[in-house]
């Protein structure tokens, strides 16, 4: 009898938990990777309410699910139900990838590594000795700031509407990695001057995301410099106003699609103990850029 495609008795099960979860592209991403990698695995979405988080984790263990991704709003809360969180994930304050090894759960953060990989792939440069300005101070900003600091940035400025949240991230970086972070409260200069002076400018806020596509986190009259690189974690639209303005002024731009795809591929590698080949990576980018 010919073995048909699809779930069999041997299929390894993975998934993503979040709330809401309907918009997630992770099921499509992971099932596509499995198809390209010819690995017998299936990945499904689970909508989990905050109050059921612990129960969901126990359930995954009981059902021997191989691992799962964690998305909004559970990335921080999940950490207390994990047996061992990585050192990086603890500093980043968030786990987006959980691996189940014989009933013991290991937590990782692949968002920040995904960000770093996509930045390097698309710009051909990294963060060593760079001055970086970040707009926003939420969960994504914390993970990115920690990563950039670990990779040897010279200076990180964090500019946020709520200064106290920026101060929290500044303290985490300065107390645990290197004394290189500052925010508008601790700087003599204003946000705009900090950003104009930086080599790399990263938007980690949702400003400019669909459907508010006419908005940018930068104020009018910003002085661009052609050597600057602008990165937006937003990927819908593909080119936010923040990026379009920068591109019009001759700057290099990168959107958040690569970060999204790489965080997923890195999770996959952790679960399956495989290396996703360059050819599969190219196919994944082609498939999800359509
Ligand atoms: P995530 O975990 O995805 O980073 P978050 O924790 O909600 O999301 O953080 C969103 C960030 O975007 C915050 O820094 C937020 O600013 P506040 O800390 O002042 O709330 C910022 N942000 C969201 N909407 C914004 C807006 N309209 N203008 C300026 N900043 C905004």
Would you say the CB of residue 216 lies under 6 angstroms from ligand 1? no
Q: Judge if the beta carbon of residue 96 lies within 6 A of ligand 1.
A: no
Q: Is the pLDDT of residue 2 over 60?
A: no
Q: Whose CA is nearest to atom 10 of ligand 1?
A: 138
The answer to whether the CB of 137 is under 6 A from ligand 1 is yes
- Residue 272 in this model has a pLDDT that exceeds 80: yes
Distance between CA 89 and CA 109 in Å, rounded? Answer: 5
Between 193 and 270, whose confidence is greater? 270
Q: How far does residue 237's CA lie from ligand 1's centre (Å)?
A: 18
Residue 220 DSSP SS3: coil
**Averaged pLDDT of the chain:** 95
For the Cβ of 289 lying below 6 angstroms from any atom of ligand 1, the answer is no
- 4: confidence class by pLDDT, cuts 50, 70, 90: low
157 Rama class: left (phi>0) / alpha (psi -120 to 50) / beta: beta
pLDDT at 192: 82
Q: Which atom of ligand 1 is nearest to the CA of 137?
A: 14
pLDDT at 131: 97
Task: Give 5's pLDDT tier (boundaries 50, 70, 90).
Answer: low
Distance CA 43, CA 11 (A): 10
75 is catalytic: yes
DSSP lists the bridge partners of residue 44 as 15
% pLDDT > 70, the chain: 96
Rounded CA gap, 233 and 176, in Å? 24
CB of 29 within 6 A of ligand 1: the answer is no
Q: Could you report the per-residue pLDDT of 248-260, keeping only the tens digit for each? A: 999 999 999 999 9
The helix/strand/coil state of 232 is strand
b/e map 120-149, b = 16+ CB within 10 Å: eebeeeebeebbbbbbbbebbbbbbbbbbb
Atom number in ligand 1 closest to CA 136: 14
Share of the chain above pLDDT 90, in %: 90
Across 105-119, 133-147, 174-188, least confident range: 174-188
Nearest-CA neighbor of 116 among 200, 182, 242? 200
pLDDT, tens digit (0-9, with 9 covering 90-100), for 22-69: 999 999 999 999 999 999 999 999 999 999 999 999 999 999 999 999
Nearest-CA residue for ligand 1 atom 15 is 136
Contacts of 35 (CB under 8 A, 6+ apart): none
Residue 6, pLDDT score: 84
Determine contact, residues 122/145, Cβ cutoff 8 Å. Answer: no
C-alpha atoms less than 13 angstroms from C-alpha of 278 in its C-beta half-sphere? 1
What's residue 1's pLDDT?
Answer: 44
Whether 165 lines ligand 1, by a CB cut-off of 6 Å, is: yes
Q: What local confidence, expressed as pLDDT, does residue 185 receive? A: 63
- DSSP states along 87-101: HHHHHHT---EEEEE
The CB of 161 under 6 Å from ligand 1? The reply is yes
**Distance in Å, CA 207 to ligand 1 centroid:** 8
Q: Which residues contact 247 (CB under 8 A, 6 or more apart)?
A: 230, 239, 253
Q: Are 195 and 159 in contact (CB under 8 A)?
A: yes
Q: Is 140 in the pocket of ligand 1 (CB under 6 A)?
A: yes
User: What is the whole-number distance in angstroms between the Cα of residue 261 and the centre of ligand 1?
Assistant: 22
Mean pLDDT confidence for 93-107: 98
Q: The pTM is what?
A: 0.95
How close is the Cα of 140 to the center of ligand 1, in Å? 9
Give me the pLDDT at residue 221, please.
84
Question: Which atom belonging to ligand 1 lies closest to the Cα atom of 205?
Answer: 12
Q: What is the pLDDT of residue 187?
A: 57
CA distance linking residue 55 with residue 78, whole number of Å: 11
Catalytic residue among 10, 12, 75, 241: 75
Give per-residue pLDDT as tens, 182-213.
Answer: 987 655 556 788 889 999 999 999 999 999 99
Residue 173 has φ and ψ, to the nearest 5°, of -65, -50
Token code pair at residue 280: 């599969």
């Amino acid at each position: 009898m010919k073995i048909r495609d699809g779930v069999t008795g041997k299929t390894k099960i993975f998934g993503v938990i979040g709330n809401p979860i309907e918009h997630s592209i992770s099921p499509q991403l992971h099932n596509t990777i499995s198809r390209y990698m010819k690995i017998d695995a299936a990945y499904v979405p689970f909508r989990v309410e905050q109050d059921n988080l612990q129960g969901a984790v126990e359930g995954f263990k009981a059902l021997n699910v191989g691992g799962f991704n964690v998305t909004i709003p559970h990335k921080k809360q999940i950490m207390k139900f994990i047996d061992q969180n990585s050192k990086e994930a603890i500093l980043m304050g968030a786990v987006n990838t959980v691996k189940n090894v014989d009933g013991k759960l290991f937590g990782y953060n692949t968002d920040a590594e995904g960000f770093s990989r996509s930045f390097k792939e698309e710009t051909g440069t990294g963060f060593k000795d760079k001055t970086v300005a970040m707009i926003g101070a939420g969960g994504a900003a914390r993970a990115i700031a920690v990563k950039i600091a670990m990779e040897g940035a010279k200076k990180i400025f964090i500019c946020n509407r709520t200064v106290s949240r920026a101060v929290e991230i500044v303290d985490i970086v300065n107390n645990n990695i290197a004394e290189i972070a500052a925010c508008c409260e601790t700087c003599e200069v204003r946000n705009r001057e900090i950003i104009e002076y930086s080599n790399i400018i990263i938007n980690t806020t949702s400003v400019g995301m669909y459907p508010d596509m006419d908005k940018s986190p930068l104020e009018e009259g910003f002085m661009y410099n052609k050597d600057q690189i602008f990165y937006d974690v937003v990927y819908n639209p593909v080119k936010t106003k923040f990026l379009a303005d920068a591109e019009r002024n001759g700057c290099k731009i990168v959107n958040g699609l690569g970060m999204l795809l790489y965080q997923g591929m890195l999770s996959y590698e952790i679960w399956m103990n495989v290396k996703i080949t360059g050819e599969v990576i190219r196919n994944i980018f082609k498939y999800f850029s359509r």
